[in-house]
């Protein structure tokens, strides 16, 4: 995908990251921010790429918020199988949210 060999709809792109709609969205506008270089998880991602990662997350979120007319968003990154990581390539989920949308990310029940 990063090399353009698989056609995708890119939302935003910079030198090291790109974003695209999730192919199985949890909510309308659910998108992914993906590293162009292979890093299996957040612990492998060099700190030097932090500003470009944040740039891609911010630019993607602004576009999605406008498109979906949402008033908030979640950024989710799963690391390792026990935390729900299924794809072994670093990526971040952007989930646009609306007040009282009914979608729950329930962190309060974790560990109870």
The C-alpha atoms of residue 80 and residue 68 are separated, in whole angstroms, by 30
Provide the domain count of the chain: 1
Considering the domain boundaries, does residue 50 fall inside one?
yes
The reported pLDDT for the residue numbered 6 is: 65
Helix (H), strand (E) at residue 92: strand 91-97
The reported pLDDT for the residue numbered 105 is: 82
The answer, as to whether pTM is greater than 0.85, is yes
The C-alpha atoms of residue 2 and residue 22 are separated, in whole angstroms, by 15
93 in Cβ contact with 75 (< 8 Å): yes
The reported pLDDT for the residue numbered 61 is: 98
CATH number at residue 46: 3.30.428.10
Per-residue model confidence as pLDDT tens digits over 14-36? 999 999 999 999 999 999 999 99
Per-residue model confidence as pLDDT tens digits over 52-81? 999 999 999 999 999 999 999 999 999 999
Boundaries of domain holding 23:
12-97
The reported pLDDT for the residue numbered 48 is: 98
Nearest to 45 by CA among 83, 79, 11: 79
Considering the domain boundaries, does residue 25 fall inside one?
yes
The C-alpha atoms of residue 74 and residue 97 are separated, in whole angstroms, by 7
Q: Catalytic residue numbers?
A: 91
């Amino acid at each position: 995908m990063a090399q353009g060999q698989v056609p995708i709809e890119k939302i935003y792109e910079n030198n090291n990251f790109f974003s695209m709609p999730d192919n199985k969205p949890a909510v309308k506008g659910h998108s992914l921010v993906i590293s162009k270089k292979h890093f299996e998880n957040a612990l492998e991602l060099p700190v030097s790429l932090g500003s470009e990662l944040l740039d891609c997350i911010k630019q993607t979120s602004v576009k999605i918020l406008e498109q979906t007319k949402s008033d908030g968003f979640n950024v989710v990154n799963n690391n390792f199988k026990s935390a729900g990581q299924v794809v072994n390539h670093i990526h971040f989920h952007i989930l646009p949210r609306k007040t009282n949308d009914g979608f729950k990310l329930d962190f309060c029940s974790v560990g109870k």
